[in-house]
Structure 1
Amino acid sequence: MKLLAFSDLHLNAAAAGRLVRESRNVDLVLAAGDFCNARRGLDKALDLLAGLTAPVVAVPGNCESEAELRDAAPEGWHVLHGGGVMIDGVTLFGLGYGVPVTPFGNWSCDLTEAQAAEALAGCAGADIFVTHSPPKGIADRTSTGLSVGSTAIREAIQRLQPKLAVCGHVHDCWGEEGKIGATRVVNLGPAGRFFEVAA
Structure 2
Amino acid sequence: MRILHVSDLHLRQQCLDWALTESRNHDLLVIAGDLLNFHLPCPAPKQAEQIKAWAAAIQTPTIVCSGNHDLWPKNPLVTKDTKADGQWLRLLKTNKNIIATDGDTISLNGTTIKANGWLKLPDPKPCDILVTHAPPSECDCSASDTGPDFGDQDLWHVIGGNMPALILSGHIHHPRKHACQIRTLAGSLTILNPGMNTSAPIPNHWAINTTSKKALHYPSGAIVNWR
For this structure pair, what is the TM-score category when the shorter chain's length is used for normalisation?
0.7 to 0.9
Gaps of 5+ in 2: 39-43, 71-84, 196-202, 214-227
- Residue in structure 2 matched with residue 140 of structure 1 by the alignment: 142
- Residue in structure 2 matched with residue 128 of structure 1 by the alignment: 129
Using the TM superposition, give the Cα deviation of residue 175 of structure 1 relative to its aligned residue in structure 2, in angstroms: 6.4
- Residue in structure 1 matched with residue 173 of structure 2 by the alignment: 171
Using the TM superposition, give the Cα deviation of residue 159 of structure 1 relative to its aligned residue in structure 2, in angstroms: 2.3
2:64 aligned residue (54, 58, 63): 58
Question: Could you tell me how far apart the structure 2 residues matched to 1:57 and 1:174 are?
Answer: 26
> Bigger shift: 21-30 or 175-184?
175-184
1:89 aligned residue (88, 106, 110): 110
8 Å CA contact 1:157, 1:180 repeated in 2: no
8 Å CA contact 1:69, 1:79 repeated in 2: no
Aligned CA distance change for structure 1 residues 67 and 149 (closer, same or farther; 3 Å) = same
> Bigger shift: 49-58 or 163-172?
49-58
Question: Could you tell me how far apart the structure 2 residues matched to 1:174 and 1:194 are?
Answer: 19
8 Å CA contact 1:19, 1:52 repeated in 2: no
Aligned CA distance change for structure 1 residues 192 and 43 (closer, same or farther; 3 Å) = farther
Question: Could you tell me how far apart the structure 1 residues matched to 2:108 and 2:86 are?
Answer: 21
8 Å CA contact 1:13, 1:48 repeated in 2: no
Question: Could you tell me how far apart the structure 2 residues matched to 1:196 and 1:175 are?
Answer: 20
Using the TM superposition, give the Cα deviation of residue 52 of structure 1 relative to its aligned residue in structure 2, in angstroms: 2.8
- Residue in structure 2 matched with residue 71 of structure 1 by the alignment: 91
Corresponding letter in the other structure for 1:127: D
| Cα distance per residue 1:87-137 (max 9 Å; x no partner) | 22210012121xxxxxxxxxxxxx2xxxx4xx33x2311111100111102
- Residue in structure 2 matched with residue 156 of structure 1 by the alignment: 158
Question: Could you tell me how far apart the structure 2 residues matched to 1:79 and 1:59 are?
Answer: 8
Question: Could you tell me how far apart the structure 2 residues matched to 1:174 and 1:49 are?
Answer: 31
| Cα distance per residue 1:29-84 (max 9 Å; x no partner) | 11111111123512213433443321001111112233121124551213332331
8 Å CA contact 1:4, 1:26 repeated in 2: yes
**C-alpha RMSD of matched pairs (Å):** 2.3
**How many residues matched?**
179
Q: Percent of aligned pairs with the same residue?
A: 27
Gaps of 5+ in 1: 98-110
Corresponding letter in the other structure for 1:146: P
Higher relative contact order (CA 8 A, sep 6+): 1
Aligned CA distance change for structure 1 residues 155 and 196 (closer, same or farther; 3 Å) = farther
Aligned CA distance change for structure 1 residues 78 and 68 (closer, same or farther; 3 Å) = same
Using the TM superposition, give the Cα deviation of residue 193 of structure 1 relative to its aligned residue in structure 2, in angstroms: 1.5
